[in-house]
Amino acid sequence: MSCPKLPEIAVISDAHVHDPLADFGWPGALATGGLSVRPLSEAARSTRVFNETKGAFLAALDEVVSRGIRHVVLLGDYTDDGQVATTGCVAALLDRYRQAHGLHFYALPGNHDVFADHGRHRTKRFLRADGASEVVTSDPQRDGAGLPLTVSPAMFCPGQPDGLRAMAEHGYFGAPGAVYWETPFGTDADPEARSYEVRSRSGATLRRLMDASYLVEPEEGLWLVMIDANVFVPIDGSEAFEDSTSAGWNALLKHKAFLLSWIADLTARANASGKRLVVFSHYPVLDPLDGTREEEMALIGPTETTGRIPQAEVGAALMAAGVQLHLSGHLHVNDTACLHAYGRSLVNVAVPSLGGFPAAIKILSFEDSTIAVETVGFDDLPLDPAIMALYEAERRRSGFEAAALTSAKTHGAFLSAHLGHIAWRRHLKREWPAALAALLRAASLGDLFRLACSPADIPLDSAVAALPGLRLERGLTVTLTREEEHLLAEIDGIVLLGDWYRLRMGSGLGVRHVGPARMALYRRLAQALRDANRQPGSAQAALRQMFDLLERFADGLPSENFVLDLETGEISAR
């Protein structure tokens, strides 16, 4: 299909902007230079960081400007938690870049930006200058649990449409300067014209909500289909709704099926009129973790992440609607997934978060029959010394230690350390089987090599006790140099688990952070574990599953810089 030269599109997902200079109305900010900084101890328990996100977002926008790109998709979760003050700060930043640099933004909502129709209260802690915390909440009924408490309407997270109004000109209610704009309901931007019915699980409760989806043609020939994939299901007997976090497209197929009909109509119209069409939503439509959902569940059981993976019906529905390329966020992963069936193909490009490892954005470039995807990282950004000073005050006051984070000098190092910290302190505790977690806490990589090379199957439940009696059977399955053996002793379970998650979240970007020396040893251990048939329930069998997944994460489809051939569905690195 020959088409006019189409503009490049920058895609930013899950920026989770928290502006430390936002006014939340709490008195402690008077002594911090106006800074509202979230405690590091809270970030160390979360899947994302907080105070570093505004700097990363500004760096991403500056990168877009430096490349001469004019169109930017915000793939949801552009705010910390949808707070009135935060959304206002994001909108002000976008307006500034629009006026100064001519950028055009097209936003869609994530699960952190709005909540249903009526919104919900938010409560956060901020650091005082002395390292203690104060609580700021929008809920007048909230108790401070012994901490100083400020009630501020600036902390409230509105619903739709109110929570979208500050971003009105960034796609939700039209797109100034665009060639064309419509919604699934027509060309009327009024929220009343864009409502749909949603029922509770029992069917007894019926509510009407606004859908914020829209199509925008920023320049002649390019259609960007922006899908509001948030699904808020009413709860019987109350005014409350189910949270959308784990719903995504699995729930959309049931509760917002009208969107599939609209998408199918758009793809048919695009094909008939020679338009290039790309679909965006906050939630993935294919498994973005290299198709490993079932294998991961077999190893460690259901997790927060596996519960958010779309079912096979989602990809089939999008493919039937004629979609070839979909970009998603939500899971904070950098990855590429592809489905081929019935002579068609569907590709899901997962865009990572600026507030989690690995921090990056995507750039789309269009040719006649291909779309090129470039990944741009932000590892080298410096950290804000004023924020780091408050973290140090927190450490002195509370005794909270996270040396790998507080010693980091760059955004990339901070995020890598953060992921390693939550892998060890959060995921291992909450999600991993007790016996396997105990083995990872006790073993070095060298110990795991000795387990792999042991001729006997060792029950996982007794593997820790067996470690002191193991020795490396040279020549049995693997030969190591003395230098490698020394490195094996230095790599403990903390490093290994952090690397496992870096590869899970970052794919090719994770491989670069892990580095060639550790990757080579992980691959050799994976091979050693494959060299013998092991009984289910043995430590070796569990480790084989773990390292098979590690290699799947590392060796999936190209996820950094690649080209999608729209005629064949093939993906090739570039």
Is it the case that residue 326 has pLDDT exceeding 50?
yes
**Whole-number pLDDT of residue 481:** 77
Q: Distance between CA atoms of 105 and 96, rounded to whole angstroms?
A: 12
Could you tell me which residues are beta bridge partners of residue 180? 217
**Whole-number pLDDT of residue 304:** 86
Is it the case that residue 473 has pLDDT exceeding 70?
no
Confidence of residue 3 (pLDDT cuts 50, 70, 90): low
Q: What six digits make up the tokens of 12?
A: 């930013």
Do the beta carbons of residue 55 and residue 411 sit within 8 Å? yes
Q: What six digits make up the tokens of 355?
A: 């507030």
Confidence of residue 478 (pLDDT cuts 50, 70, 90): low
**Whole-number pLDDT of residue 475:** 43
- Counting other chains too, the contacts that 406-411 makes at CB distance below 8 Å and 24 or more residues apart are 406/40, 408/383, 409/382, 409/383, 410/379, 410/380, 410/381, 410/382, 410/383, 411/52, 411/55, 411/56, 411/359, 411/378, 411/379, 411/380, 411/381, 411/382, 411/383
| Strand 222-227 relative to strand 180-182, pairing | unpaired
Question: Taking residues 8-13, what's their average pLDDT?
Answer: 98
Name the pTM for this structure: 0.96
Name the H helices within 44-169. 53-66, 84-101
Model pLDDT for residues 327-343, shown as the tens digit of each residue: 999 999 999 999 999 88
Model pLDDT for residues 231-268, shown as the tens digit of each residue: 999 999 999 999 988 889 999 999 999 999 999 999 99
Do the beta carbons of residue 229 and residue 283 sit within 8 Å? yes
Could you tell me which residues are beta bridge partners of residue 335? 350
Confidence of residue 298 (pLDDT cuts 50, 70, 90): very high
Place of tokens 């901020």: 126
Do the beta carbons of residue 394 and residue 127 sit within 8 Å? yes
Confidence of residue 476 (pLDDT cuts 50, 70, 90): very low
Place of tokens 């910390």: 80
Model pLDDT for residues 122-158, shown as the tens digit of each residue: 999 999 999 999 999 999 999 988 999 999 999 999 9
| Strand 325-328 relative to strand 344-350, pairing | parallel
Query: How confident is the prediction for the chain on average, in pLDDT?
Result: 95
Is it the case that residue 1 has pLDDT exceeding 50?
no
Nearest to 107 by CA among 124, 93, 121, 123: 93
Is it the case that residue 428 has pLDDT exceeding 90?
yes
DSSP string, 281-338: ESS-SS-TTTT-HHHHHHHH---TTGGGSPPHHHHHHHHHTT--EEEE-SS---EEEE
Place of tokens 């865009």: 351
Model pLDDT for residues 387-400, shown as the tens digit of each residue: 999 999 999 999 99
CB-based contacts of 8: which residues, under 8 Å, 6+ apart? 67, 69, 71, 363, 364, 365, 366
Model pLDDT for residues 541-555, shown as the tens digit of each residue: 999 999 999 999 999
H, E, C per residue of 343-368 = CEEEEEEECCECCCCCCEEEEEEECC
Q: Distance between CA atoms of 156 and 481, rounded to whole angstroms?
A: 59
Is it the case that residue 562 has pLDDT exceeding 60?
yes
Edge to edge, what strands does the sheet with 344-350 contain? 180-182, 214-217, 222-227, 276-281, 325-328, 344-350, 335-341
Is it the case that residue 2 has pLDDT exceeding 70?
no
**Whole-number pLDDT of residue 343:** 87
**Whole-number pLDDT of residue 489:** 86
Is it the case that residue 474 has pLDDT exceeding 50?
no
Confidence of residue 477 (pLDDT cuts 50, 70, 90): very low
Question: Taking residues 339-351, what's their average pLDDT?
Answer: 94
**Whole-number pLDDT of residue 381:** 98
